[in-house]
Amino acid sequence: MPSALPDGEPVPLDGSLPDVALAELPDSPLSIYLHVPFCSTRCGYCDFNTYTSNELQGTGTADYLTAAHAEIDLARRVLGDGTPSASTVFFGGGTPTLLSGAELGGLLAHVREAFGLQPDAEVTTEANPETVTPQLLDELLAAGFTRISLGMQSATPRVLQVLERRHTPGRALEVARMAHRAGFGDVSLDLIYGTPGESLADWRTSLEAALSVEPEHISAYALIVEDGTRLAHQVRRGQVPMTDDDDLADKYLLAEQVLTEAGLEAYEVSNWSRGPEHRAQHNMAYWKGHTWWGIGPGAHSHAAGVRWWNVKHPRAYAAALAEGRSPGAGRELVDPADRRIERVMLELRLADGLPWSVLTDSELRRVPDLVERGLAVITHDNLVLTLQGRLLADAVIRDLLD
């Protein structure tokens, strides 16, 4: 089932933000995320806030679209005139491409009308390979989409079977070629490593297959077996073996080797791009702590230290907006000390590193030990993780922080 939301404090019925947060908005780039919660089937490893048609009980795409458009208007009212136009727009899910090109384009047009788009705005949609057609790609390009992110996961049939992915191993590659032919200059492939039963040779096969279509971007994430998923039940019952940390480390190092040799560079712990111009700017906005408004059931938002999240179910989400109130389920106000800690946790994962000025005196005194252990290096202004440090990023950050 979809993951639980935190509690937090109540969100005002009109969605309004504190004056102290509004005062920061003009100085922070804006990103918009649109969560499309629909999937044809639920993959066994997935705990995202998604729903199949059997789970929606009469709430469908028409209700979702009406509500999403209403939340775009709500966001515009709350953020006001001082907010910059959007630098990035990202459609995630779920499976956004279960909506038609016209429906996706209509949402993007509304975002453009409400907020404006920067001249070089990055506009991305995630897509499951089996939902993409040449006509859809043409419609997305015409609507203003600049980037497509394909859920490939693996090129090995048995790995896809364990993950309960429905597409064939070659379908994502076919769609990537199709997207390039259509005119997309930014095609990203998402891969997962560490699936139970996946060998190192299987993982190499997936990496080399992804590179064969010359994508501009590749994300490679270690599989996390989330409680409550079908895969977690299978692991608990001993039906599939759990992957250990040494195996995950070997596969991460292989990804770094294969992708780097092919001309991609790691710019974040789990992301590689063909040069800085192909970095996922929407994800960079998250890692840099910019302003983002998440539209859709269960979507999360952040503005100047205020974090909030919407109700999860599409029916409750649509009902709230139909009644003219915020769909927010809860929010939290992050104090300056915690915002600093979050900045350390997020920016240290970036290849550009973390500015010295963010660290406290006691944290600075811990840096020489990290350097001596080969986990970090010192640049003129930043602390940067080495490859070994990226492998142990969570532990390094834990050791560094007060």
pLDDT tens profile 35-58: 999 887 765 555 667 777 666 766
CA nearest neighbour of 183 among 144, 219, 155: 144
Helix (H) or strand (E) holding 292: strand 291-295
Token pair for 357:
């000025």
Torsion sign across C-alpha atoms 144, 131, 277, 185? negative
At 273, list the tokens.
Answer: 């791009």
B/e letters for 121-160, b = 16+ CB within 10 Å, e = fewer, are bbbbbbbbbbbbeeebbebbbebebbbbbbbbbbbbeebb
Q: At what angle do helices 245-261 and 200-211 cross, to 10 degrees?
A: 30
Is 12:296 a contact under the CB 8 Å cutoff?
no
Show the tokens assigned to 67.
Answer: 């509500």
Buried b (16+ CB within 10 A) or exposed e, 174-184: ebbebbbebeb
Residue 212 DSSP class: T
Structure tokens that stand for 312 in this block? 């999860």
Cβ–Cβ < 8 Å for 37, 297: yes
Q: According to the model, what pLDDT value does residue 1 have?
A: 34
Spatial separation of the C-alpha atoms in residues 51 and 104, rounded to whole Å: 18
For residue range 225-251, what is the model confidence (pLDDT) as tens digits? 656 666 656 667 766 667 788 999 999
pLDDT tens, the chain, 402 aa long: 345 667 789 999 999 999 999 999 999 999 999 999 988 776 555 566 777 766 676 668 899 999 999 999 999 999 999 899 999 999 998 899 999 999 999 999 999 999 999 999 999 999 999 999 999 999 999 999 999 999 999 999 988 887 777 767 799 999 999 999 999 999 999 999 998 889 999 999 999 999 999 999 999 999 866 566 666 566 677 666 677 889 999 999 999 999 999 999 999 999 999 999 999 999 999 999 999 999 999 999 999 999 999 999 999 999 999 999 999 999 999 999 999 999 999 999 999 999 999 999 999 999 999 999 999 999 989 999 999 999 999 999 999 996
Cα Dmax for the chain: 60
Apex 175 CA angle, 173 and 177, nearest 5: 70
**Separation between Cα atoms, residue 386 and residue 393, nearest integer Å:** 10
User: Of 174, 19, 32, nearest to 107 (Cα)?
Assistant: 32
- Are the C-beta atoms of residues 349 and 331 closer than 8 Å to each other? no
Task: Find residue 83's DSSP bridge partners.
Answer: none
pTM: 0.93
List alpha helices for 5-148, DSSP H. 19-24, 53-56, 61-79, 101-115, 134-143
Structure token pair of residue 228: 């409550």
**How far apart are alpha carbons 47 and 5 in whole angstroms?**
12
Tokens found for residue 343:
């900045």
Question: What confidence score (pLDDT) does residue 223 get?
Answer: 84
Residue 2: per-residue pLDDT: 41
How many Cα atoms within 13 Å fall on the side-chain side of residue 375? 19
Give the whole-angstrom CA distance, residue 355 versus residue 267: 16
Distance CA 110, CA 313 (A): 23
CA dihedral in degrees (312, 316, 317, 319; nearest 10)? Answer: 180
- Angstrom distance (rounded) from CA 354 to CA 358: 7
